[in-house]
Amino acid sequence: MGSKVEFLAVIVVCSLFVIAPHVYAKISCEQVTMLLTPCIPYAVFGGDVPPACCSGIKESLALVKTTEDLRLKCECVKEGAAGIPGLNYTRVNELPAKCGTTSPYLVSPNTDCSKLKG
Ligand SMILES: *[C@@H]1O[C@H](CO)[C@@H](O)[C@H](O)[C@H]1NC(C)=O
């Protein structure tokens, strides 16, 4: 009995190690978009920064581990921002500071994401 449970535990732990790098090595655009969606009302209309926006920004910054992640996230934010009518880029770029953090790049329609280094 005991050894069967142990055997299963070993399988579970091993598969976590096998699966995890594929799941977490690269960030996905959907992930970033989901985290930053609460920021859209502030970016368009101003007012108070929603707490969900700040936590989203911080989580999305924490996701970036490599240069590749950074470029992917930058492209994703740039494309996402381009699709939002009335978006105020000044306010978008104020957000990290308002949330007490810093972003490694400015969001603008002209940002060259391929030049960023993580
Ligand atoms: C964008 O936001 C900034 C800072 O809140 C504000 O000064 C500026 O007038 C806004 N621009 C537009 C086009 O609404």
- Please count the CA atoms within 13 angstroms of the CA of 62 that sit on its side-chain side: 7
For ligand 1, atom 10, which residue shows the shortest CA distance? 88
74 vs 8, which has greater pLDDT?
Answer: 74
Using a 6 Å cutoff on CB, does residue 90 contact ligand 1? yes
**CATH architecture assignment, domain 25-115:** Orthogonal Bundle (1.10)
pLDDT mean over 18-37: 76
pLDDT by residue (tens digit) across 34-69? 999 999 999 999 999 999 999 999 999 999 999 999
Q: Is the pLDDT of residue 21 over 80?
A: no
In angstroms, rounded to a whole number, what is the distance separating the alpha carbons of residues 9 and 90? 51
Question: Amino acid letter at 104?
Answer: P
Question: Cα of 50 to ligand 1 centre, how many Å?
Answer: 18
pLDDT by residue (tens digit) across 57-105? 999 999 999 999 999 999 999 999 999 999 999 999 999 999 999 999 9
For residues 86 and 73, is the Cβ–Cβ distance under 8 A?
no
For ligand 1, atom 13, which residue shows the shortest CA distance? 88
In angstroms, rounded to a whole number, what is the distance separating the alpha carbons of residues 33 and 81? 10
Question: Cα of 85 to ligand 1 centre, how many Å?
Answer: 14
Please choose from 45, 87, 89, 90 the residue to mutate so as to test ligand 1's pocket, defined by most ligand atoms within 8 A of CB. Answer: 90
Question: Cα of 44 to ligand 1 centre, how many Å?
Answer: 9
Under 8 Å CB-to-CB from 74, ≥6 apart: which residues?
105, 111, 113, 116
- The alpha-carbon radius of gyration of the chain (Å, integer) is 18
Nearest atom within ligand 1 for CA of residue 46: 5
Sequence ranges of the domains in the chain:
25-115
In angstroms, rounded to a whole number, what is the distance separating the alpha carbons of residues 74 and 84? 16
Using a 6 Å cutoff on CB, does residue 88 contact ligand 1? yes
